[in-house]
């Protein structure tokens, strides 16, 4: 371990956490919680086991939690104090440990304001009969669900006993739960075990009316009964995906790859919780055209979950490598052309993000300095797509076979640990000392905007789609390509200018069947064109879409587009007031700021 590694593994290093590693480090978490749907809270106990005994103050992260008591393993009360709220950081829980304390038991409850948890009323679910709860802990929301060291630097195993209504199913980022009798005749206790250490942001819980379908010996899909059939169809090829991923990265390291399709309010495309990925229902296009999002979450099993960014300043280590890994799997499954089309769509979204931030914005760098900044507020495609281009550049310079071996060594060296950008740099430079200057590594990592040596993806099909889009933009009678697959259609729509005339909008809608598609990516791109072009025929569809979808990738740009144009600005405001209660707290926080500007 280098001096740099040692420095970063000591003391308070994470700008988004009160964690001070000099005070101690959690080794295992035990949860004993009751799910109260009436009050919309979790309440019970969290038992924290540390690597070694300690004494004196230890600081934990909390936000919107009610702390009732702290005591030792033998039941003796332990002193504690909680600070005032410090914005997105929440409240510091300082516990004063007697000499030799290795275990702390904290009796607590969440509140309805806890940002990690979304409580859905029955009418907000597909079935409409039972309530639903799900968590979303990334990036720094675990502290509003459990008092702990909420930093990727700290990894722990966990067990849990979750008491739920008997008619509902509980799932966690752990081995499938074992159901035991609950404390009352109408309840059940579900017991979970996660034997592999994870960072706090990968802690996950969902409770609702769910059923499951086994897709292979190690893969199972959970969903509400109304969506289980379509979910099982959409992701039927998961075992093939896992097998291809193993060819590239080695044996799957988490035993099971189960996943749950969430209700529409889920704010992201997917969340890579190990052993239980969460997915948005917007992926259920009916033609498996959006299954690549599941490929992304699968790839996280190696890059992100196994080797984890030290802090949110190093987020590109999680996401840049994972987008690269996702597209490598996609290439093996669907061919090089699909890889290039996906990379092109990514490059388009990156260009838009850089334009939105500004070329010189520090948020366009891979290695960021987010001290004092809420990570949710600057979440973007930069760590994903700029990170992908950087990893792809390394692959091109080294050669695919050699780079694949390098990635396997990298994963094996740092598995089940959290590393900084500097640690990755040192590891790469040790393997390829002559390349860092040639590829302008420092400019890529710390520079803003996009370096001039970024990979460019070219193909005859890409040229055809771009030329067709350019021709249609100039002449509404120009032919629109026929028989476009969903990915090609997204590339074609992305190549069009946002501003078209009414006749062009009508032709697009009719020829491509845009009012009939089940592909949410295509629908969102089409709605952005229609809103910018003043094609108000789609506004009722947009309203329905925004009422049915909580994924920030779609709701944020659509509300922004509506707000931007004078003829739809009032609709944006009234629609958001009507719908915001149904969005996840994370999405609400982002959208509140957007709508207030």
Give the residues of the chain that fall short of pLDDT 70.
1-11
Choose one of 282, 300, 318: the last residue of a domain: 300
Contacts by 542-545, CB closer than 8 A, 24 or more apart:
543/575, 545/520
Report, as residue numbers or ranges, the catalytic residues. 297, 384
Alpha carbon of residue 215 to chain centroid: 23
- Sorted by sequence, the CB contacts under 8 Å of residue 147 that are 6+ apart come out as 46, 60, 61, 62, 65, 67, 93, 106, 108
The predicted structure's pLDDT at residue 360: 98
Choose one of 257, 283, 300: the last residue of a domain: 300
The predicted structure's pLDDT at residue 3: 37
Choose one of 209, 234, 264: the last residue of a domain: 209
Both 439 and 513 in a single domain?
A: no
The predicted structure's pLDDT at residue 11: 60
Total structural domains in the chain? 4
**Which residue stretches of 335-399 are H helix?**
336-357, 387-398
Both 493 and 568 in a single domain?
A: yes
Both 565 and 429 in a single domain?
A: no
Would you tell me how many other CB atoms lie within 10 Å of the CB of residue 267?
A: 24
Count the residues in the chain: 597
Question: 576: closest CA among 586, 596, 566, 565?
Answer: 596
Look-up of token digits 């924290």:
48
Residue 69 and residue 107: Cα distance in Å, rounded? 5
Question: Is position 289 within any domain?
Answer: yes
CATH code: domain of residue 515: 1.25.40.320
Question: Is position 2 within any domain?
Answer: no
What's the domain range around 265?
211-300
CATH code: domain of residue 230: 3.30.2010.30
* pLDDT tens per residue, range 518-556: 999 999 999 999 999 999 999 999 999 999 999 999 999
Alpha carbon distances (Å) from 225 to 220, 267, 432: 14, 21, 52
pTM, whole model, 2 decimals?
Answer: 0.93
Residue 297 and residue 304: Cα distance in Å, rounded? 10
The predicted structure's pLDDT at residue 292: 84
The predicted structure's pLDDT at residue 459: 87
Both 312 and 295 in a single domain?
A: no
Both 110 and 159 in a single domain?
A: yes
């Amino acid at each position: 371990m280098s001096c740099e590694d040692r420095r970063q593994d000591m003391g308070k290093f994470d700008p988004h956490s009160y964690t001070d590693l000099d005070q101690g480090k959690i080794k295992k978490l035990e949860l004993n919680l009751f799910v109260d749907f009436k009050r919309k809270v979790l309440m019970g106990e969290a038992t924290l086991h540390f690597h070694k005994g300690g004494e004196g103050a230890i600081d934990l992260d909390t936000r919107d939690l009610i702390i009732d008591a702290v005591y030792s393993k033998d039941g003796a009360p332990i002193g504690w104090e909680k600070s005032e709220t410090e914005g997105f950081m929440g409240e510091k829980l300082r516990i004063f440990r007697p000499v030799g304390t290795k275990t702390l038991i904290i009796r607590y409850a969440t509140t309805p304001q806890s940002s990690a948890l979304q409580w859905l009323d029955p009418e907000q679910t597909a079935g409409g009969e039972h309530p639903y709860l799900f968590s979303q802990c990334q990036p720094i929301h675990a502290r509003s669900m459990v008092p702990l060291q909420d930093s990727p630097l700290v990894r722990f195993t966990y067990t849990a006993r979750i008491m739920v209504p008997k008619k509902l199913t509980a799932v966690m980022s752990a081995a499938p739960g074992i159901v035991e009798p609950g404390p009352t005749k109408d309840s059940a206790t579900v017991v979970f075990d996660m034997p592999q250490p994870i960072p706090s942001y990968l802690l996950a819980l969902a409770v609702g009316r769910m059923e499951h379908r086994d897709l292979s010996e190690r893969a199972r899909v959970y969903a509400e009964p109304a969506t289980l059939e379509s979910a099982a169809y959409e992701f039927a090829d998961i075992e093939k995906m896992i097998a291809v991923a193993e060819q590239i990265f080695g044996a799957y390291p988490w035993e099971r790859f189960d996943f749950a399709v969430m209700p529409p309010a889920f704010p992201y495309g997917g969340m890579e919780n190990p052993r239980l990925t969460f997915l948005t229902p917007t992926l259920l296009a009916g033609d498996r055209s959006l299954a690549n999002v599941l490929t992304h979450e699968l790839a996280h099993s190696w890059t992100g979950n196994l080797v984890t960014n030290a802090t949110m300043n190093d987020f590109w280590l999680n996401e840049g490598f994972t987008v690269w890994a996702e597209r490598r799997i996609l290439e093996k499954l669907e061919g090089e052309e699909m890889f290039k089309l996906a990379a092109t769509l990514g490059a388009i979204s990156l260009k838009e993000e850089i334009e939105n931030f500004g070329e010189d914005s520090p948020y366009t760098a891979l290695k960021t300095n987010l001290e004092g900044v809420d990570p949710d507020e600057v979440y973007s495609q930069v760590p994903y797509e700029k990170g992908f281009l950087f990893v792809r550049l390394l692959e091109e310079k080294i050669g695919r076979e050699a780079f694949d071996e390098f990635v396997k060594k990298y994963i094996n060296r740092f598995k089940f640990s959290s590393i900084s950008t500097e640690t990755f740099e040192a590891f790469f430079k040790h393997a390829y000392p002559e390349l860092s200057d040639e590829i302008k590594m420092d400019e890529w990592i710390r520079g803003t905007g996009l370096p001039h040596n970024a990979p460019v993806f070219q193909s005859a099909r890409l040229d055809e789609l771009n030329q067709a889009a350019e021709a249609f933009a100039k002449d509404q009678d120009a032919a629109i390509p026929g028989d476009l697959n969903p990915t090609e259609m997204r590339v074609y729509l992305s190549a069009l200018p946002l501003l078209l005339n009414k006749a062009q909008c009508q032709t697009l809608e009719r020829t491509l069947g845009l009012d009939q598609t089940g592909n949410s990516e295509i629908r969102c791109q089409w709605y952005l064109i229609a809103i910018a072009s003043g094609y108000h025929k789609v506004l009722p569809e947009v309203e329905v879409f925004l009422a049915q979808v909580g994924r920030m990738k779609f709701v944020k740009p659509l509300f922004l587009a509506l707000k931007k144009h004078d003829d739809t600005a009032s609709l944006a405001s009234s629609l958001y007031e009507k719908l915001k209660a149904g969005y996840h707290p994370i999405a609400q926080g982002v959208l509140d700021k957007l709508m207030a500007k």
